[in-house]
Amino acid sequence: MSVDFRIRDFAYPIGIIRLRRFFQKSQWLPPDELRAYQEGRLRRVIRQAYHHVPYYRRVFDQLRLKPRNVQRLEDLAKIPFLSRGDVRANYEELRADNAKRFRPAEALTTGTTGTPLKFLLDKQSNILEFVYYWRHWSWAGYRVGDCFAEVRWDYFNRRPETAEKLWHYQPHLRRLLLNSVRISRERIGEYAWALRKFQPRFIHGRPSNLYCLALVLREQGLDDIPLKAAFAGGEVLMPEHREMIERTFGCKVLDHYAHMERCMAVTQCPEGGYHINLEYGILQLTEEKTLDYGVTIGRVVCTSLHKMAMPFLRYKIEDFVEVYPEERRCSCGRTLPLVKAIHGRVRPTIVTPDGRPITTLAAPFRSVKGVRAFQCIHAESGRMLIRVVRGKEYTQGTEETLKLRLRKYIGEGMRIDLEYVSEEDLERDEWGNVQMIISHVQAS
């Protein structure tokens, strides 16, 4: 997920300040007070869901449930899981009939599966997101107004005139945007120039994108740009990624795990602990099992505590969380509970013929009607196989649009072949998740 804070979406200073004050205090609260806060927020969401969301009103009535029957965390087990497929099939029914009251905006994500998902975000969840980032970054010394860099692709892809740009500085946000899909040995000097000119103290991005930037900078002897901290999220942070980023920028990497749907969040503190943000959402596990080597994992189920325009209850997603065999306290002193590790979102890297590393191919597929799902296979050097699951709206025109977008994104040197398949034909990882990118080519 990206820190895309448009001013109009976060222009709620009173709400932000109030929630910020609570978040600063709540990270030290006793567990019973944190639980009381969660259950208080849960009761509000349940009332909203029952009285104003047709989908949940129907589910509750079928199960003969009333809001009074779901008051505590344990009571959530009475409600069926909500899957991404359920959201896709019941979008209008999941929209609250009083959604306008919460100033909603439509959002779209492909997650890690390559299957687009549309949902609503609202004013309160925007306030939550801003405060969540603010608190996590402040653990490394960030203050609002500090200059920071962000490695991303979507900002540059929105308009033809920005697609080829390497960087863009936003003085009103003090944010230096670095184009993740244009990083190459030949042009890395321009990235280094921008970093030196604007002197950000922090950097944020997907681990694979931060790794690519750090690796190429180091290879070209440009590893003399110190930062105070790097924040990684959106994928599993691999040990080799952490090591390279920390060596190149001379700072710690603080990892975080969350979703655009804004139902749960886990953040890493400077002491290394992965803390569940109980005030953000409810994280529960299902399908728990102990693997052969003694590790206990479970699939993530989460419940939003702040979204009212489209609340998600017991939202079951693709990722797995590894837990400690016994309850632990972090040496940082925070009372937010710990998990051991996050599994399920590792992205391979594709290197284009012109030397650019690509870690995501979601951009060309965004807003293309008729694409139910996709998978990109880098089968051999210079060739990309795109598997597409077509929907009812897919036409010959859709195919041409998609090819043009892919060509613009990947470059002229890569051969692109489209193959139409069913969802059952898409390759899956060991957890059963569809992989967005599969690479059989060794990056050099």
Instruction: List pLDDT tens digits, range 16-42.
Output: 999 999 999 999 999 999 999 999 999
Q: Please report, rounded to a whole number, the percentage of residues in the chain having pLDDT higher than 90.
A: 57
Give the CA radius of gyration of the chain: 22
Q: Could you give the CA distance from residue 91 to residue 103 in angstroms, rounded to a whole number?
A: 17
Work out the pLDDT band at 429, boundaries 50, 70, 90. Answer: low
CA–CA distances in Å: residue 304 to residues 22, 48, 87, 110? 18, 12, 14, 19
Q: Which residue has the higher pLDDT, 428 or 425?
A: 425
CA–CA distances in Å: residue 318 to residues 164, 190, 357? 34, 38, 25
Q: Over range 325-335, report the average pLDDT.
A: 93
Work out the pLDDT band at 359, boundaries 50, 70, 90. Answer: low
CA–CA distances in Å: residue 328 to residues 130, 274, 323, 332, 340? 28, 11, 10, 12, 10
Q: Domains along the chain?
A: 7-343 (3.40.50.12780), 350-439 (3.30.300.30)
Q: Over range 171-196, report the average pLDDT.
A: 93
Instruction: Give the three-class secondary structure for 220.
Output: coil
What pLDDT does residue 326 have? Answer: 84
Q: Over range 239-245, report the average pLDDT.
A: 89
Mean pLDDT of the chain: 88
